[in-house]
Every structure is written in C-alpha cells, then in structure tokens.
Amino acid sequence: MTGFLTAGIVRTALEVGLIYSLVALSLFISYSILNICDLSTDGCYTLGCAVGAIVTIAGHPFLAIPAAMLAGICSGYVTALLQTKFGVQSILAGIIVNTGLYTVNLAVMGFSSNVSIFGTDTIFSLFKNLNSSGFWKDWCNLILLAVIVAAVCLLIKWFLGTTLGLSIRATGDSPAMVRASSINPIFTITVGLCFSNALTGLAGCLIGQYNKTCDINLGTGMVTIALASLVIGETLLGRGKMIFRILGMVVGSCFYRFIISIALRLNVPTEAFKLVSAVIVAIAIAAPRAKQLIAFKHKQMTAMQERKSMRGDKANA
C-alpha cells in the first residue's frame, strides 16, 4: 500500500481535494440548497485564480483572497441578475456568464493565457516560513488548507441557520411557500449565488497560489468535477443533518481526488483523463438510479417466482 500510494501522493490528493471542496461547497449552495444549476463555475474559478494571481504578483498574497472572492461575487451577481430580473433561464445565464468570463479572465491576466507567481510570496510560502522543522515543511500546506476549509464549513453552517440563510433554503425548497411568505426570491437568489461564487473565487485563488500559476483553461470541466464530489459526498454522508451534508462535500471532494491519484498511479495516460473524469461523474450520478433499477428488478424477479410457485401449488392441489 505504501509503495503504491506514498505519503506524498496522499498528501497532495488531500490538499487539492480540500481546495476543490470549496467549489463543491459552492455548488452545494447553488445546486443543493437553491436548486439552481449554476454553470458559470468554470469561468468563475479561473476568474478567482487570475485575480488572485495578479494581486499576489503585486505583492499582496493575503489581499488576493478577498479580491478573488469579490470577483466571484461580481460574477455571481451578474448570473443572478440575468435570471431574476431579465428572465434568462438559469442554466443559460450561467453559460452566458461563463463565456463572457473567458475574455474577462484574459484581460485580468493582461491578455496572456498564462501567468506564473514565481519569485513572490504566497500564503503557502509565508505559512511554511513560520517553522523550519521537517514535519512542518511536509504538512504545513495541508494544515493551512484544513484550517481555511474548516472555517468556511463553519461559516456556511452558521449562515444557513440565520434568518437570511433560512430564507435562501426556503427559496430553493419550496417556491410556492416563498411566494406566500414575505421573502423576496430575487433577493435570496442573488445573495445565494453571490455567496456561492465567492467560494468558487476563493478556491481559484488558493489553487493559483498553490500551483504558483494561472492558466486560462484552468477551470475547464470544474463544474463536472465539483458535481461529482457533491454526489459522492451526498452518497457517503447522506442528506441528513446540515453539518454532515456540508462535511460530505469535503469528504466527497477528497475521495474524488483519491480516485484520480489512483488512476494516475495506474498509469492512465493524461490524454484519457477527461474521459476518466466524465466516467466517474456519470457513475457517481447514475449510481442511485442504478441501485433503484436493480432493486426493482430484484422485486420483479421474486414476485414472478412467487407467482409461479403459487400456480404450481394450485396445479398440485
């Protein structure tokens, strides 16, 4: 086992999994809570990375975090505006924003398709310098990310219990009830999407500083990956208590990265990677339905057999 999956590989999978879990949490808010399929995720993730990278290169790795989140909020606001005020279907609104963001992201990166952060501090390098022990060098990234993700999880848990959070949940859970209560769905959808996209922006910022680079195609397929993590998380930890649902996103996301790591170790060629991801997603999302189908087939078989044996009894009698 240690030969197949070294500590380094496990650590990297966990680190990237934690960063990705922020995107899964973003989709948790838009997709699971608000019941809106927000397809601007790919572009918003890159936006967060680009803005974060530029601000980091300018020498402000900490400022990069709120800057990237703010960029995400702006992106979420536009998506929300299109679907609430202008009646654009939510999926279409996300696609439109996603397309527009490509140019915006290029512009943020100074019309170059790639920027790198080498030579300046990142939050990871600053954190690493706090201590010089070997243990710290190995684990500091994971510790920092775990702290950030834990804080975000607690924030979400707290937020969804507030008056505003409950209104947002009601908006996604029962449109008719919201219509009959004094909640303004335009407001709750807008706040929800801004919050969700702030998390995507944060994830983009972290991955940029983590990899010390930002590429214009970084976000491609991100929404699929996050969706897969979300479904895996819901399958593993269920749909019960809110805190477990939130933690499920983190678990699902790390689990997903493990599968990818194993695939890498099995020398699945990188060209096949997108297909592998898509297959994992398809299986993850199709699993509950497949389970139902198998259960039904089983029921059908037993019922038919019972009937046969009953007929047999009659014939014997």
Partner 1 sequence: MLKIEHVFKTFNTGTVNEKKALTDLNLELQDGDFATIIGSNGAGKSTMFNAIAGSFYTDSGFIELDGEDITFTPEHTRSRYIGRLFQDPLMGTAPHMTIEENLSVAYLRASEHKRGLFSHVSKSERDKFREQLSLLDMGLENRMNHPVGLLSGGQRQALTLLMATMVTPKLLLLDEHTAALDPSTAAKVLDLTKKIIEENHISCLMVTHNMNQALELGNRTLMMNNGNIVFDVKGEERSHMTIKDLLDKFEENAGKALNNDRILLSTKEGV
Q: Does 161 bind partner 1 (CB under 8 A)?
A: yes
Q: Does 179 bind partner 1 (CB under 8 A)?
A: yes
The whole-angstrom separation of Cα 220 and Cα 205 is: 16
Residue 201 parent element (H or E): helix 185-211
Task: Report the residue from 99, 113, 131, 162 that binds partner 1 according to the rule CB under 8 A.
Answer: 162
Q: Does 182 bind partner 1 (CB under 8 A)?
A: yes
Task: Report the residue from 131, 181, 300, 305 that binds partner 1 according to the rule CB under 8 A.
Answer: 181
What DSSP line would sit under 212-236, residue for residue? TEEETTTTTTHHHHHHHHHHHHHHH
C-beta closer to partner 1: residue 31 or 255: 31
Q: Does 174 bind partner 1 (CB under 8 A)?
A: yes
Q: Does 180 bind partner 1 (CB under 8 A)?
A: yes
C-beta closer to partner 1: residue 169 or 257: 169
- Which tokens in the block code for residue 92? 């279409």
In this chain, which stretch among 53-61, 75-83, 166-174, 299-307 interacts with partner 1, using CB under 8 A? 166-174
Q: Does 164 bind partner 1 (CB under 8 A)?
A: yes
Choose among 118, 102, 115, 112: nearest CA to 40.
102
Residue 15 parent element (H or E): helix 7-27
The whole-angstrom separation of Cα 140 and Cα 137 is: 6
- Which tokens in the block code for residue 242? 């809110």
The whole-angstrom separation of Cα 253 and Cα 57 is: 29
C-beta closer to partner 1: residue 129 or 174: 174
Q: Which residues bind partner 1 (CB under 8 A)?
A: 159, 161-164, 166-167, 169-170, 173-174, 176-185, 239
